[in-house]
Amino acid sequence: MSPAAASGPSRVRGPSTTTPAPAGLAARQAALAALTRVEEDGAWSNLAVPEAVADLRDPRDRAFAAHLAYETLRWEGTLDAALALVLSRPLAAVEPALRRVLRLGALQLLVSDVPARAAVDTSVQLARRSVPRGRSAGAGGFVNGVLRALDRRDGDLAWPDRGDDPVAHLALSTAHPSWVVEDLLERYGTTRTAAILAADDVAPGVTLRANADRDALLEELTAAGIDARPGALPVSIRAPGADPRTLAAVAEGRAVVQDEASMRVALATGASEGDRVLDLCAGPGGKTTHLAHLVGEKGQVTAVELHPHRARAIAEAAERQGVRVAVEEGDGRAPPVPDDARFEVVLLDAPCTGLGTGRRRPEVRWRRTPEDAAALARLQEQLLRAAARHVAPGGQLTYAVCTWTTAETTHVVDRFAPEAAAAGLTCTATTQLLPDADDTDGMFIATWQAV
């Protein structure tokens, strides 16, 4: 359904629903395996989906399976609302394996260009394989009945009218939780909020950061048959159809898979040749290594990371890219650096709800709650206070979060203001990047200059 629609349409058409050519059962099994990993193991889809589809030989099967998995995760709330119209019991009461099959089938009926018969028949087969053999017939019959009832209702989903209930309408038509919609509506109004949420539903292509000569890397990618073009930044390349796992430049550290919003964070720090940099909450190292390239061999980057596996990822990334980074395991609230250590550049890339990454990890919107945003905001303030103590005179403090909630962005800056002033820090800029206007992840960046 288009975000601009007034009421329930015949299809839940979103801006991201260009469907690859339908494939058979194997592709759907791979998609279901990815959904299971995301739900049961808490995996992120940007890792689970490529792994699940890797064994499919036909690239069309891989593309179709990936589409089904990502879009089922993206549209989960809307699919659940549609299924609730035809179920005789709450969807939460349906066992998880069959619930995933129902969502996958509903996605094909309501969002993707898949014939109803193929969507229902393959879902029945998946249901039979998802339960013990003695229950396979019953499971198949149950899924068949629900999806056929949903197909018959197509065109009568009765979503709320946008004028009467903009929150409910946008929540269903763009597949976002109501609290996320409300938070955006308060600041941006209905039209802009609809545009932001619609853009958040468009799966992004691959963006690369060139660590050396961007033009040479563009020529290399083009010669390999990859559709690559310059990005919006001097170091960025847009390569929408590329598979980073197959790129020699990525394996050799000459390029890094990174959204332009993250590149803008490193650039916003003002880091330059010879600077000393403290990067707090630095894992997995994308911004850290970018900073290391900016300060060069004469500079020094100290990366602090709480989690050992993320600290290892920073060290591995630095080695692969040929830059020097001193990695320290520790809590950013009490950084493992001398109390009197001062740095020209201090970056706090703080833990956050991550809602701004929803284009590539759509399940994040369903995992987070308003309570998460409030709790993380308290942590972010503690981290900011610690970061501020290590800014050298004339240096700069940068705060970044890949989200757009008020609690984690402007409210954090406002609450930090008295302490910033007491520490001799002046707020020089705040920027909220958003997917509709900037074609990037949602990223908030604030900077302070020390006297």
How many Å from the N-terminal Cα to the C-terminal Cα in the chain? 52
Rounded Cα–Cα distance for residues 307 and 223 (Å): 40
**Contact between 277 and 271 (Cβ < 8 Å):** yes
Which tokens go with 202? Answer: 């468009």
Quick one: which of 266, 289, 262, 268 has its CA closest to 448?
Answer: 268
Which tokens go with 442? Answer: 């949602």
Quick one: which of 355, 365, 433, 430 has its CA closest to 398?
Answer: 430
Please provide residue 52's backbone torsions phi and psi, each rounded to the nearest 5 degrees.
-70, -30
Total residue count of the chain as it appears in this document: 451
DSSP string, 360-425: T-TTHHHH--HHHHHHHHHHHHHHHHHHHTTEEEEEEEEEEES---TTTTHHHHHHHHHHHHHTTE
Catalytic-role residue among 281, 352, 402, 427: 402
Rounded Cα–Cα distance for residues 440 and 404 (Å): 12
User: Residue 276 pairs with which residues in a beta bridge?
Assistant: 300
Q: How many CB atoms lie within 10 A of CB 4?
A: 11
Cα–Cα separations (whole angstroms), residue 79 to 303, 354, 368: 42, 22, 18
Please provide residue 230's backbone torsions phi and psi, each rounded to the nearest 5 degrees.
-60, 140
The position carrying tokens 């920027």 is 431
Please provide residue 440's backbone torsions phi and psi, each rounded to the nearest 5 degrees.
-135, 180
Quick one: which of 220, 248, 264 has its CA closest to 433?
Answer: 264
CA angle at 47 for the pair 322 and 404, rounded to the nearest 5°: 90
CA 86 distance to own-chain centroid: 31
Quick one: which of 246, 251, 247, 258 has its CA closest to 206?
Answer: 258
Q: Dihedral of CA 15/160/356/75: which sign? A: negative
427 is catalytic: no
The position carrying tokens 């292509």 is 205
- Amino acid 314 reads I
Residues noted as catalytic: 402
